[in-house]
Amino acid sequence: MADEQDLLDYDEPDEVPRKEDKNTNNGVTSIQNGSSTGTQSGAIRGSYVSIHASGFKDFLLKPELLRSIMDCGFEHPSEVQHECIPQAILGTDIVCQAKSGMGKTAVFVLATLQQLEPVDGQVSVIVLCHARELAFQISREYERFCKYMSAVKVSVFFGGLPTKNDEDVLKKNCPHIVVGTPGRILALAKSKVLNLRYVKHFVIDECDKVLESLDMRRDVQEIFKMTPHEKQVLMFSATLSKDIRPVCKKFMQQPMEIYIDNETKLTLH
């Protein structure tokens, strides 16, 4: 990984504009109006909309996860889920930009739960986001999908509450999945009550908001350095400027890139 200064002051020439057609060119595939998948224009609108004949069962997920998915009433994955989940559960680094309501949260929740092998006293998954409300929502999603995985423990940590409460949770009932804001997660790690040496999955949701703030980016970098070199990195956002995309990729190794710039175009790198 590049040093801190490289990440904070990263400068790179503008990307070459991509051709907006459905032909493959230099490793970039553009899919417009869903034509390459035999679907109707605009089919990716809405939350968890079915645009593929395949179902979640085709991802070969754990039975406990499939049961939770069925309880939620989901049957077919959205476009983002269809493209991301098969690669994510294999451990591929992914950066994904798609508008809200397309099921991005479910991608990293399901992918990390699928790969999780819970070990008592070890944090395996770290999820960072910019706001306490979002952290709480993400933790609720984990709880919803892992309700039949009784051994899995999830905790959420963010500023505004006494640090001692978080320290007590980590000491007495160490979670396997930690969700939180960078400032609080870093404080807990520096105080040695949060051990990041066993992290296998490093996730940033709304990564543009997290990494565009230099203070938050510094916190993320410090947290990142405390985790093992070999791990999966997943980043998701509703908006992702071309300026911040190279910054995201600095944390990753040969990531799969998925950018949905409007309701009818999916670009894969």
Domain range summary for the chain, segments of one domain joined by +: 64-268
Q: Any idea of the CA torsion for 105, 109, 110, 111, to the nearest 10 degrees?
A: 100
pLDDT at 182: 98
Range of lowest pLDDT (49-53, 98-102, 134-138, 155-159): 49-53
Q: Mean pLDDT for the chain?
A: 82
Q: What is the pLDDT of residues 33-84, one digit of tens each?
A: 333 333 322 333 334 444 454 688 889 999 999 999 999 988 889 889 999 9
Q: Is the pLDDT of residue 261 over 80?
A: no
Q: Examine the pLDDT at 30 and tell me if it is beyond 60.
A: no
User: What CATH number is given for 64-268 in this structure?
Assistant: 3.40.50.300
User: d(Cα 249, Cα 269) in Å, to the nearest integer?
Assistant: 12
d(CA 158, CA 179): 8
On whether the CB atoms of residues 226 and 9 are closer than 8 A, the answer is: no
SS3 assignment, position 257? strand
- Exposed / middle / buried, residue 179 (Cβ in 10 Å: 0-12, 13-18, 19+): buried
Q: What's residue 260's pLDDT?
A: 79
Contact indicator for 265, 32 with CB cutoff of 8 Å? yes
The closest of 138, 92, 98, 110 to 262, measured between CA atoms, is 98
Tokens representing 162?
A: 């006494």
Distance between CA atoms of residues 228 and 17, nearest Å:
35
| Cα gap 104→238, rounded to integer Å | 9
pTM above 0.95, yes or no: no
pLDDT at 57: 85
CB-neighbour burial class of residue 120 (10 A; exposed 0-12, middle 13-18, buried 19+): exposed
Cα distance between the two ends of the chain: 21
Q: What is the mean pLDDT of residues 14-36?
A: 35
Mean pLDDT of all residues in 126-150: 97
Tokens of 111: 């992918």
The tokens describing 52, both together, are 């593929």
Residue pair 129/206 in contact by the 8 Å Cβ criterion? yes
The pLDDT value recorded for residue 23 is 37
Quick one: what percent of the chain has pLDDT higher than 70? 77
**16-30, 75-89, 147-161, 255-269: least confidently modelled range:** 16-30
Say how far residue 113 (Cα) sits from the centre of its chain. Answer: 12
